[in-house]
Amino acid sequence: MKLHKKVVGFSVLFLMLACSNQPFYDVYKTVPNRQWHHHEKQAFQVHITENSARYDIWAYIRHSGEYDYANLFFLLHETGPQLADTSYRHELTLATTDGRWTGKSAGNLYENRLLLKEDYIFPDTGIYTFEIEQNMQEDPILNITDIGLKMVRK
């Protein structure tokens, strides 16, 4: 009887771990010298092997406390098989109206994320490229440390 309970317990634990939403893709790119220029697109290439799966796609931005703005505008460029080249403009809020930084913090670094696509299904298998380009008036923008792209398979 004890063995049966252990087997059932391990089976339930295994199923819970197998069904968790672990990142399918999770990559960060460091911004050289914390100076992000307009012409420096951060490119992320993802190999999709199954076009029936659903994904949540997130952009991550890390910045220092010396960043000068309460938000960040960026362009997301997408290319891939059977996908028209597209660009979307996004705004990520980094601070509250009273000036407090939002997101996760570690010392003087802050990380914010923005859901770019929810339950997204790729039109075909193959290599897809996502490029994130800063779209602020200032060039370069200072004190952005890292740009990331995360995809969670559902």
Note whether residue 116 is domain-resident: yes
Number of domains the chain contains: 1
Read off the pLDDT of residues 12-56 as tens digits, 9 standing for 90 and up.
444 444 455 678 999 999 999 999 999 999 999 999 999 899 999
Asked if residue 7 is part of any domain, the answer here is: no
- Positive or negative, the CA dihedral 111, 117, 119, 120 is negative
pTM of the model: 0.83
Domain of residue 100 covers 23-153
pLDDT in tens, 92-123: 999 999 999 999 999 999 999 999 999 999 99
Cβ atoms of 73 and 89 closer than 8 Å = yes
Residue 115 lies in a domain: yes
- CATH classification at residue 121: 2.60.120
d(C-alpha 42, C-alpha 146), whole Å: 10
Q: In terms of DSSP H, where are the helices of the chain?
A: 2-18
12 inside domain = no
- Residue 104, in any domain of the structure: yes
